[in-house]
């Protein structure tokens, strides 16, 4: 399959082309039976001759080209409707009736706050042109009205509030929110790209529109990527502020699978400046080695790393309710546990050459001994709750019975 992507250097185009190239090169094998032979990337620096040649060869066309922020309002119609006409005329010239996708916008509904949108009128004109093209040629036409988009590589201070907020908060720049209660419908770029790959396979989802709301309908005239999130500006800013604090608090906010928070965090990280990509951790160092907290969670405890110098024994304490995993990743050691009130000692010889997870059981005093005379013992530790200095639930008692 040969695929033409117009607007290939824009936000959606870059992400879509990157994933299509991953498919072409065999790096993304989870899309099933789909083969990509060539990706034709058309943008403002491409030539009319290239567009002509690619329209002749293409087996599928994604038309993502468009104008969002022109100097003059008239450029909306020229950039959006005008180029769409050129593209379709070129396909007709070569008798190429391959499927064509159009990236439109909710503003094309021309309802509510979009009722007087020049941008919306240009998008609506493009939609009508594509639908007429489908009737005239019999080509499959896929028209998507996208809501607000967000994700990596989106240009800040352009046409995405999320991109602007992510960029400014990541770079300690001011943001302005006039009304935190304003709600946005947001579509994440990876969800959009997966929807476009589904369209390549003939598995697009169809809908009709009630104003700006997409109503799934098997024989709908429009197409839709239904995985969107409705979030207020205030909620977005609150999440981003918690992300910014994470290197200091070590607290990872809840980011459930497929949640808006998870997608926003990935987006936020893509705007970090170089000096924030790496951040220091507080090492608690003494003559025995070091102990460093790595990551805390609200509901699932914390991760730490412990380094013990040769011959050193650490631990010698027990917990009522807290329990832990000790995972030695480098060195050679011995982990011992003894049930409080018992003389039986459980011994576990551990090594970075055979990585295992050892439970530190509630009600068992435990230690970890570096058996090497020359090498540090490095242990990754997970506790089921974050350390609370006001209620540490930690009680000294040697493992060796009296």
Checking if the pLDDT of 74 tops 70, the result is no
Predicted confidence at residue 79, as pLDDT, reads: 47
Lowest mean pLDDT among 80-89, 153-162, 256-265: 80-89
Predicted confidence at residue 308, as pLDDT, reads: 98
Does 145 map to a domain? yes
**Residue of higher predicted confidence among 15 and 79:** 15
Q: Are residues 175 and 92 in the same domain?
A: yes
Neighbours of 287 (CB within 10 A): 6
Does 322 map to a domain? yes
CA 13/CA 61 separation, integer angstroms:
12
Look at residues 249, 264, 293 and tell me which one is the last residue of a structural domain. 249
Average the pLDDT over 169-183 and give the result. Answer: 96
Predicted confidence at residue 110, as pLDDT, reads: 85
Predicted confidence at residue 86, as pLDDT, reads: 93
Checking if the pLDDT of 325 tops 80, the result is yes
For residue range 207-223, what is the model confidence (pLDDT) as tens digits?
A: 999 999 999 999 999 99
Checking if the pLDDT of 77 tops 60, the result is no
User: Which residue among the candidates 31, 42, 119, 188 is catalytic per the annotation?
Assistant: 119
Predicted confidence at residue 327, as pLDDT, reads: 98
Structural domain of 111 = 2-249
Predicted confidence at residue 119, as pLDDT, reads: 79
CA 206/CA 186 separation, integer angstroms:
18
Q: HEC profile for the chain?
A: CEEEEECCCCHHHHHHHHHHHHHHCCCCCCCCCCCCCEEEEECCCCCHHHHHHHHHHCCEEEECCCCCCCCCCHHHHHHHHHHHHHHHHHHHHCCCCCCEEEEEEHHHHCCHHHCCCHHHHHHHHHHHHHHHHHHHHCCCEEEEEECEEECCCCCCCCCCHHHHHHHHHHCCCCCCCCCCCCEEEEEEHHHHHHHHHHHHCCCCEEEEEECCEEEECCCCCEEECCCEEEEEHHHHHHHHHHHHHHHHHCEECCCCCCCHHHHHHHHHHCCCCHHHHCCCCCEEEECCEEEEEEEEECCCCEEEEEEECCCCEEEEEECCCCCEEEEEEECEEEEEEEECCCCCEEEEEEECCECCCEEECCCEEEEEEECCCCCCEEEEEEECCCCCCCCCCCEECCCCCC
Q: Are residues 118 and 49 in the same domain?
A: yes
Instruction: Answer for the pair 139, 98: CB distance below 8 angstroms, yes or no.
Output: yes
The mean pLDDT of the chain is 93
Instruction: Answer for the pair 268, 243: CB distance below 8 angstroms, yes or no.
Output: yes
Checking if the pLDDT of 102 tops 80, the result is yes
Does 263 map to a domain? no
- HSE toward the beta carbon, residue 215, CA cutoff 13 A: 6
Does 372 map to a domain? yes
CATH number at residue 354: 2.60.120.10
Q: Are residues 26 and 119 in the same domain?
A: yes
Predicted confidence at residue 78, as pLDDT, reads: 52
Average the pLDDT over 124-135 and give the result. Answer: 94
Q: Are residues 175 and 28 in the same domain?
A: yes
> How many domains does the chain contain in total?
2
- Whether 222 is a known active-site residue: answer no
Instruction: Answer for the pair 134, 140: CB distance below 8 angstroms, yes or no.
Output: yes
CA 292/CA 281 separation, integer angstroms:
7
Does 117 map to a domain? yes
Predicted confidence at residue 291, as pLDDT, reads: 97
CATH number at residue 186: 3.40.50.720
Q: What are the φ and ψ backbone dihedral angles of 213, each rounded to 5 degrees?
A: -90, 125
How does strand 148-150 pair with strand 183-188? Answer: parallel
Predicted confidence at residue 159, as pLDDT, reads: 81
Predicted confidence at residue 32, as pLDDT, reads: 85
pTM over 0.75: yes
Predicted confidence at residue 338, as pLDDT, reads: 97
For residue range 155-166, what is the model confidence (pLDDT) as tens digits?
A: 999 889 999 999
Instruction: Answer for the pair 121, 83: CB distance below 8 angstroms, yes or no.
Output: no
CA 124/CA 37 separation, integer angstroms:
33
For residue range 20-68, what is the model confidence (pLDDT) as tens digits?
A: 999 999 998 888 889 999 999 999 999 999 999 999 999 999 999 864 5
Residue % of the chain over a pLDDT of 70: 95
Q: Are residues 215 and 83 in the same domain?
A: yes
Q: Tell me the pLDDT band of 287, cut-offs 50, 70 and 90.
A: very high
Q: Are residues 370 and 294 in the same domain?
A: yes
Checking if the pLDDT of 75 tops 50, the result is no
Checking if the pLDDT of 402 tops 60, the result is no
Look at residues 232, 249, 266 and tell me which one is the last residue of a structural domain. 249
Predicted confidence at residue 70, as pLDDT, reads: 46
CA 36/CA 236 separation, integer angstroms:
37
Does 223 map to a domain? yes
Predicted confidence at residue 187, as pLDDT, reads: 97
Q: Are residues 155 and 220 in the same domain?
A: yes
Does 15 map to a domain? yes
The closest alpha carbon to 100, from 70, 137, 125, belongs to: 137
**Residue of higher predicted confidence among 293 and 68:** 293
Q: Are residues 60 and 15 in the same domain?
A: yes
Q: Tell me the pLDDT band of 317, cut-offs 50, 70 and 90.
A: very high
Average the pLDDT over 94-121 and give the result. Answer: 88
């Amino acid at each position: 399959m040969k695929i033409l992507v117009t607007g290939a250097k824009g936000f959606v185009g870059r992400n879509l082309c990157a994933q299509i190239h991953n498919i072409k090169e065999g790096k993304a094998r989870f899309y099933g039976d789909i083969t990509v032979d060539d990706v034709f990337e058309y943008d403002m620096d491409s030539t009319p001759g290239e567009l002509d040649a690619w329209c002749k060869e293409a087996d599928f066309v994604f038309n993502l080209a468009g104008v969002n922020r022109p100097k003059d309002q008239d450029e909306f119609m020229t950039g959006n409707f005008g180029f769409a006409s050129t593209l379709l005329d070129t396909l007709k010239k070569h008798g190429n009736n391959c499927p064509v996708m159009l990236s439109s916008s909710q503003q094309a509904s021309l309802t509510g706050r979009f009722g007087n949108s020049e941008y919306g009128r240009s998008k609506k004109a493009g939609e009508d042109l594509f639908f007429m093209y489908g009737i005239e040629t019999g080509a499959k036409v896929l028209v998507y009205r996208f809501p607000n988009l967000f994700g990596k590589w989106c240009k800040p201070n352009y046409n995405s509030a999320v991109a602007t907020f992510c960029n400014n908060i990541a770079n300690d720049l001011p943001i302005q929110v006039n009304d935190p209660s304003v709600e946005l419908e947001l579509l994440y770029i990876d969800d959009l790209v997966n929807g476009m790959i589904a369209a390549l396979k003939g598995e697009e989802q169809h809908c009709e529109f009630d104003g700006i709301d997409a109503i799934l309908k098997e024989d709908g005239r429009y197409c839709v990527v239904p995985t969107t999130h409705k979030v207020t500006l205030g909620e977005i800013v609150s999440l981003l502020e918690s992300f910014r604090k994470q290197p200091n608090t070590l607290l990872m906010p809840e980011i459930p699978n497929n949640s808006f928070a998870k997608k926003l965090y990935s987006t936020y990280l893509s705007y970090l400046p170089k000096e924030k990509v790496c951040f220091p951790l507080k090492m608690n160092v003494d003559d025995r080695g070091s102990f460093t907290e790595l990551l805390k969670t609200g509901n699932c405890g914390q991760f730490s790393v412990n380094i013990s110098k040769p011959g050193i024994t650490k631990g010698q304490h027990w917990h009522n309710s807290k329990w832990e995993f000790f995972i030695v990743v480098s060195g050679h050691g011995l982990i011992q546990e003894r049930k409080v009130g018992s003389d039986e000692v459980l011994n576990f010889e551990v090594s970075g050459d055979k990585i295992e997870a050892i439970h530190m059981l509630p009600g068992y005093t435990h230690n970890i001994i570096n058996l090497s005379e020359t090498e540090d013992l490095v242990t990754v530790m997970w506790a089921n709750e974050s350390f609370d200095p006001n209620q540490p639930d930690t009680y000294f008692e040697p493992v060796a019975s009296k």
